[in-house]
Amino acid sequence: MRPKDKIAYFYDGDVGSVYFGPNHPMKPHRLCMTHHLVLAYDLHKKMEIYRPHKAYPVELAQFHSADYVEFLHRITPDTQHLFSNELARYNLGEDCPVFENLFEFCQIYAGGTIDAARRLNNQLCDIAINWAGGLHHAKKCEASGFCYINDLVLGILELLKYHARVLYIDIDVHHGDGVEEAFYFTDRVMTVSFHKYGDMFFPGTGDVKDIGEREGKFYAINVPLKDGIDDTSFTRLFKTIISKVVEMYQPGAIVLQCGADSLAGDRLGCFNLSIDGHAECVRIVKKFNLPLLVTGGGGYTKENVARCWTVETGVLLDTELPNEIPENEYIKYFAPECLLNIPNGHIEHTQDKQIQRDDEYYDGDNDNDQNMDM
């Protein structure tokens, strides 16, 4: 009988208190909600919990250009009006706004993924979790799609110090373009992304014909999907493709990005996955018994993001969770049913409730989501 996996879990409460601003769909507050659900289910008692270090600028510059990192470090909401050229150059603006404590936010979520990779490298755990990470769109010299620093690339670079080959898997509804681009010319990282493609859907990349170049040719796999894909189709594709990839590529470690915007009812997504269907992908990857780094990613219906990542924490711990959500600080977000699993196709669009709650949470900030594209 194989010994139980040792799990390391990274969390810093400060990451959930940053605010992207009114009308912005990214709510880091979802990380507090996830953490409190994890605590309410007593999952923390089965893991080692760590507060990540804040990644140093020199660590961020292992992938990103030094001038971009320096600018993120320097810019504030009060001074941004002085830097219109740089804001345009680094793609900071509507999607990627400059907000209070932006750089510290990047340092925390990137530090979590770097620390997770280091613990795996040192064989101090079998699985490492950083739900604050997974910001897969950020590029070497610019922000993109709500992502400023690409923690996944930094984590993979860390894993490559100890492993000849790393497999990256992405189940966010959006293509993992930043990670694919970073490793497009190497065979040391295989990237596999399952995502919505077509209809001008962001970021517009991830065609099945994009397979890598030079030494990286055939080491990028894209699985472009249409609106409305359900559990049965998604998990069948996922299991078939990933099983063959692991068999042929034989990675030393796996990084799994678990963007929850592929769930039914997501404010920005268009798939029809239930939480169980999404979590089945995690279960499949866990069974390979390889060093595994698990991150969050997208996910814009906050209560369902928290449900999903809590269920997936349970999956990684081989722990079945009762469907009734225990009392916790954020229980009102899960009302009236207060259940963990909601079948696909029945996840309510809780936009109106979310607007009201976010207004309350930010104590007067006008977090009015009504103008967001659905």
**Binding site members:** 95, 145, 172, 174, 261, 300
- Nearest-10 Cα torsion for 35, 36, 40, 41: -20
Q: Which residues define the annotated binding site for substrate?
A: 95, 145, 300
DSSP label of 126: S
Q: Known catalytic residue: 349?
A: no
Q: Which two tokens mark 238?
A: 């996922």
Residue 59 Cα to chain centre, angstroms? 20
Q: Which two tokens mark 365?
A: 């900030």
Q: How many CB atoms lie within 10 A of CB 39?
A: 17
**139 burial type by CB count under 10 A (0-12 exposed, 13-18 middle, 19+ buried):** buried
DSSP label of 251: -
3-class SS at 178?
Answer: helix
Residue 27 Cα to chain centre, angstroms? 13
**Residue among 64, 136, 137, 163 flagged as catalytic:** 137
Instruction: Compute the distance between CA of residue 24 and CA of residue 117 in angstroms, rounded to an integer.
Output: 30
Rounded to a whole number of angstroms, the CA Rg of the chain reads 19
Contact assessment for residue 252 and residue 164, using Cβ atoms and an 8 Å cutoff: yes
Q: Which residues define the annotated binding site for a divalent metal cation?
A: 172, 174, 261
The residues annotated as belonging to the active site are 137
